[in-house]
């Protein structure tokens, strides 16, 4: 008698949508790395801005970003279990926290301006605005994706597995982008704190 043969389960392949998202995130990451390297060279001989501290609003915005990622993960858990009402609520919560992130970013830039830190004149001053501004622009894209998910979630009904499966794939791609924006912001915040 022959021993039972184990049949290897096929490994899940990366969907075309996720592959495209990986390419987009790689391009965004490469752009920010190039920007950070350019600023590192631009500020190496420049004196630090005297009496300037990184605004507390940037730290508050970081809390909003982390909370929004948590809310989005909670939403995806609800979606996997086909609990549609809590899923929609968590999506709205994620969206709202994303908007609060952007508002606190604006308040942080306003605080820097009151400290005499401006875009022109010194690369050390402009880097706060450039990094936070470009990141905020990319986060707006994430908010657009989140709003699209919210609109599509309104069409979902219990018992229809195929639309749920498609929506889960879209939510996975959107979550990858959103979490990447969160990790990217934490990295940028560390750089801004180190270079102030």
Does the residue 91 lie in any domain?
Answer: yes
Does the residue 2 lie in any domain?
Answer: no
Helix (H/G/I), strand (E/B), else coil: 91: helix
Q: Which pTM was predicted?
A: 0.85
Does the residue 94 lie in any domain?
Answer: yes
Does the residue 1 lie in any domain?
Answer: no
Quick one: pLDDT at residue 10?
47
Mean pLDDT over 144-172 rounds to 89
Of 42, 61, 172, the residue nearest 109 (C-alpha): 61
Mean residue pLDDT across the chain: 87
pLDDT at position 157 over 70: yes
Residue with tokens 């998910």, as numbered in its chain: 149
Does the residue 149 lie in any domain?
Answer: yes
Quick one: pLDDT at residue 13?
66
pLDDT grade for 101, boundaries at 50, 70 and 90: very high
Does the residue 83 lie in any domain?
Answer: yes
| Portion of the chain with pLDDT greater than 90, in percent | 57
Contact assessment for residue 154 and residue 90, using Cβ atoms and an 8 Å cutoff: no
For residue 118, the domain's CATH number is 1.20.120.80
Q: Which domain range does residue 125 map to?
A: 53-195
Does the residue 18 lie in any domain?
Answer: no
Greatest Cα pair distance, the chain, in angstroms, is 83
Report the number of distinct structural domains present in the chain. 1
Sign of the Cα torsion 106, 149, 179, 93 reads: positive
pLDDT at position 96 over 80: yes
How far apart CA 143 and CA 17 sit, in angstroms, is 18
pLDDT grade for 12, boundaries at 50, 70 and 90: low
Mean pLDDT over 70-74 rounds to 97
Does the residue 154 lie in any domain?
Answer: yes
């Amino acid at each position: 008698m022959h021993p039972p043969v184990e049949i290897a389960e096929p490994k899940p392949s990366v969907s075309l949508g996720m592959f495209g998202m990986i390419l987009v995130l790689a391009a965004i990451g490469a752009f920010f790395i190039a920007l950070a390297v350019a600023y590192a060279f631009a500020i190496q001989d420049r004196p630090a801005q005297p009496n300037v501290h990184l605004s507390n609003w940037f730290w508050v915005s970081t809390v909003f970003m982390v909370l929004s990622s948590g809310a989005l993960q909670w939403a995806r858990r609800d979606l996997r279990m086909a609990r549609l009402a809590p899923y929609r609520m968590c999506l709205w919560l994620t969206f709202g926290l994303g908007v609060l992130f952007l508002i606190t970013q604006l308040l942080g830039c306003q605080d820097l301006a009151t400290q005499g830190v401006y875009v022109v004149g010194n690369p050390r001053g402009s880097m706060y605005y450039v990094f936070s501004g470009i990141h905020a622009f990319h986060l707006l894209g994430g908010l657009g994706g989140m709003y699209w998910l919210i609109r599509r979630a309104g069409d979902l009904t219990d018992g229809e597995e195929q639309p749920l499966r498609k929506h889960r794939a879209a939510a996975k791609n959107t979550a990858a982008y959103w979490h990447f924006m969160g990790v990217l912001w934490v990295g940028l915040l560390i750089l801004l704190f180190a270079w102030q």
